Amino acid sequence: MVCIVTCAACATGQYTPLVGADKDEVEQLKENVYRVEYRVSSFSSQAQLDAYLRRRCAELTLREGYDFFHLAQRADVLALSRRTSMTVTMYKGMKPVGADDVYDAKEVLAAPVAVPNRD
């Protein structure tokens, strides 16, 4: 019974908020630049991992007093778990002009947490 519950939890991939993150998952590189990593089980889809990573970055952006963030320098690892890290640059005030790939942290957090596909 315990094995079944444990495996089911791995397969569903629960979101872990920034508060529960390990120290090695968030590293400050500059005043408004961080390296953020998110890990899920290898059973989770890349789309689910990406949604969780964006949510983690949005939480960090608001916690640090910024409004918008941009993701760059992606690094993916797939082994016993699926892991992605990205460099996050944060901005205050108005969304940078001409930046289509900048996320509004409040909008990201207002969206429901992605649920895994049941293919």
pLDDT 10s digits, 2-11: 333 333 333 3
Q: Count the alpha carbons within 13 Å of 111 in the hemisphere toward its beta carbon.
A: 15
Q: Is there a domain that residue 76 lies in?
A: yes
The number of folded domains in the chain is 1
Any domain includes 86? yes
Does residue 24 carry a pLDDT above 50? yes
What average pLDDT does the segment 32-48 reach?
84
Q: Which two tokens stand for residue 85?
A: 């890290």
Cα separation, 27 vs 88, whole angstroms: 10
In a domain, 117, yes or no: no
Residue 99: its pLDDT value, please?
74
Is 119 a member of any domain?
no
pTM of the model: 0.75
CB 88 within 8 A of CB 70: yes
H/E element holding 74? Answer: strand 68-78
Could you give the C-alpha distances from 58 to 71, 76, 91, 106, 110, in angstroms and in order? 11, 20, 11, 7, 10
Q: Which domain holds residue 88?
A: 2-110
Task: Tell whether 71 is covered by a domain.
Answer: yes
Q: What is the pLDDT at residue 119?
A: 45
